């Protein structure tokens, strides 16, 4: 996300195609680096894209399943960075993604209700 060269999107797509995990926290498997960098707010690629105002990358990450509810090492969500820096279009898109994530979660809970419980409830009506 910090690459500021014309080929930034090409490199970004290449990394994603190689199987980059969009919900991993930066340096999560390297304790030494985590310890050195934790105070900077280690987060997911979505945190970095939101912090840097990269709306196109935010959109791509969300389309690849990036979770907007993951907090970074400072306890911040990606939307917090976008809001703090005034990237209102990114704030709006992240809010939409967060709403959709919550809706999907609620739908999953409803669908996961055991069929026996549904049958019991119907029998009592």
Domain-by-domain residue ranges, the chain? 8-123
pLDDT at 14 over 90: no
How many CB atoms lie under 10 A from the CB of residue 8?
15
What is the rounded average pLDDT for all residues in the chain? 80
Q: What is the third-level CATH fold of 8-123?
A: 1.25.40
Helix (H, G, I), strand (E, B) or coil at 75: coil
More confident: 114 or 64: 64
Mean pLDDT of 95-114: 80
Decide if 41 contacts 70 (C-beta within 8 A). Answer: no
Q: Quick: pLDDT tens for 33-76.
A: 555 566 566 889 999 999 999 999 999 999 999 999 999 888 99
Q: Kindly state the tokens that stand for 17.
A: 């195609």
Mean pLDDT of 104-123: 65
Q: Which of 76, 86, 21, 79 is nearest to 50 (CA)?
A: 79
């Amino acid at each position: 996300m910090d690459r500021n060269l014309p080929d930034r999107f090409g490199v970004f797509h290449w990394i994603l195609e190689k199987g980059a995990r969009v919900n991993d926290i930066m340096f999560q498997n390297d304790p030494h680096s985590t310890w050195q960098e934790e105070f900077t707010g280690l987060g997911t690629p979505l945190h970095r894209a939101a912090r840097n105002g990269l709306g196109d990358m935010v959109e791509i990450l969300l389309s690849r399943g990036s979770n907007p509810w993951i907090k970074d090492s400072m306890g911040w969500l990606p939307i917090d960075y976008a809001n703090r820096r005034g990237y209102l279009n990114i704030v709006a898109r992240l809010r939409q993604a967060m709403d959709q994530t919550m809706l999907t979660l609620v739908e999953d809970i409803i669908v996961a209700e055991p069929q026996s419980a549904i049958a019991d409830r119907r029998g009592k009506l």
